[in-house]
């Protein structure tokens, strides 16, 4: 399922400096795992506008595992299906490190990895506000653990 950059664009970009400075996402290093290059590019451009630092972009599970293994990632956005592969090994690696992450999927909650059903999920097609809210929610949950 395709998400266009216009679907991700938003007039909700924080314009008030005080509001933006208090955003828990500001300056966080985000790993994006998405096999559709158009969605990945739209996410990279849009989420950067909200103060996230794109720490890495992966289009395969192997690449995502490699990028998620270091300390250079604060949170992650994971597409559940990467080509014909499932995202489970990446989710498992991030969870083992205590790194917050959310899922994107066109398959609903039933498609999530069994071990991570409690994680936040955003269904495709999505809007940037949904992604941002889910990332903030997952960060808050991680802080509470």
Which of 70, 46, 71, 43 lies closest to 57, judged by CA?
43
Distance CA 85, CA 142 (A): 27
Residue 23 CA, chain-centre distance (Å), reads 16
In angstroms, the first-to-last Cα distance of the chain is 34
* Model pLDDT, residue 11: 46
pLDDT in tens, 96-127: 999 999 999 988 888 899 999 999 999 999 99
* Model pLDDT, residue 1: 38
* Model pLDDT, residue 22: 85
* Model pLDDT, residue 131: 97
Which of 113, 111, 137 lies closest to 124, judged by CA?
111
* Model pLDDT, residue 101: 97
Q: What is the pTM of this model?
A: 0.86
């Amino acid at each position: 399922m395709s998400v266009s950059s216009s679907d991700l664009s938003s007039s909700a970009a924080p314009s008030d400096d005080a509001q933006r400075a208090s955003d828990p996402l500001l300056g966080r290093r985000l790993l994006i795992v998405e096999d559709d290059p158009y969605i990945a590019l739209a996410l990279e451009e849009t989420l950067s506008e909200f103060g996230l630092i794109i720490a890495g972009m992966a289009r395969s599970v192997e690449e995502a595992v490699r990028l998620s293994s270091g300390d250079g990632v604060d949170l992650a956005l994971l597409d559940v299906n990467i080509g014909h592969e499932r995202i489970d090994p990446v989710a498992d690696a991030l969870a083992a490190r205590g790194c917050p992450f959310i899922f994107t999927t066109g398959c609903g909650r039933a498609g999530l990895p069994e071990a991570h059903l409690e994680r936040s999920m955003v269904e495709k097609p999505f809007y940037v506000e949904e992604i941002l809210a889910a990332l903030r929610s997952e960060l808050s949950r991680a802080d509470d653990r």
